[in-house]
Amino acid sequence: MRVLGVDPGLTRCGVGVVEGVPGRPCSLVAYYVVYTDPADDLSLRLLHLDRSLTGLVAEHRPDAVAVERVFSQHNVRTVMGTAQASGIAVLAGARAGLPVQTYTPSEVKAAVTGSGQADKKQMTAMVTRLLRLAEPPKPADAADALALAICHVWRGGTRSKLAEAADRVRRGGAR
């Protein structure tokens, strides 16, 4: 399974692509950070993000897209930008006809480190170790996007296999 993970942000949007199967180590395909200039008009920033994510989906042809779910922060302006970037990421996957799954930061942390309370340093260290990289992916937005992709391979892949099995049983025959 190839998964494109997106750590949404309006100024910096992390994108990571991994391949793997549930219960096995994943392998790195690529990672990126899409930047937009805060001085640019919002519509141009969102358009740039849309074109970039659409291009990366077309280039890497993932089986699924995993996006970090927006959560409440104290800074409303930051939440708004993150939510707008998240919507663009979900749209890029949906437009390509791909399943899109969102994960909370604590779900991703628990999947990758075993603790939903892990900090950025622990997350980056585990992503580096799990993908057998010589050095940590930088900036942190890229490491977070890779963690989302790993989380989906391990959790979303298992979740979809269970759903497929349940569907087969409902239709009258397990295989």
Q: Identify the CA nearest to 22 among candidates 110, 153, 127, 152.
A: 153
pLDDT confidence of residue 149: 97
Identify whether the C-beta of residue 149 lies closer than 8 Å to the C-beta of residue 4.
yes
pLDDT confidence of residue 43: 96
pLDDT confidence of residue 159: 55
* 59 catalytically annotated: no
38 pLDDT tier (thresholds 50, 70, 90): very high
pLDDT surpassing 70 at residue 157: no
* 7 catalytically annotated: yes
Q: Does domain 2-170 have CATH number 3.30.420.10?
A: yes
Catalytic residue among 19, 37, 40, 68: 68
Comparison of pLDDT for 34 and 120, the residue scoring more: 34
- Report pLDDT digits (tens) over 70-119: 876 667 777 888 999 999 999 999 999 999 999 999 999 999 999 888 98
Q: Which amino acid is at 89?
A: A
- Report pLDDT digits (tens) over 140-154: 999 999 999 999 999
For the entire predicted model, the pTM comes to 0.87
Longest distance between any two alpha carbons in the chain, whole Å: 58
Q: Identify the CA nearest to 37 among candidates 25, 26, 46, 24.
A: 46
- Report pLDDT digits (tens) over 49-71: 999 999 999 999 999 999 999 87
Catalytic residue among 37, 50, 107, 141: 141
* 144 among annotated binding-site residues: no
* 40 among annotated binding-site residues: no
Domain definitions of the chain by residue range: 2-170
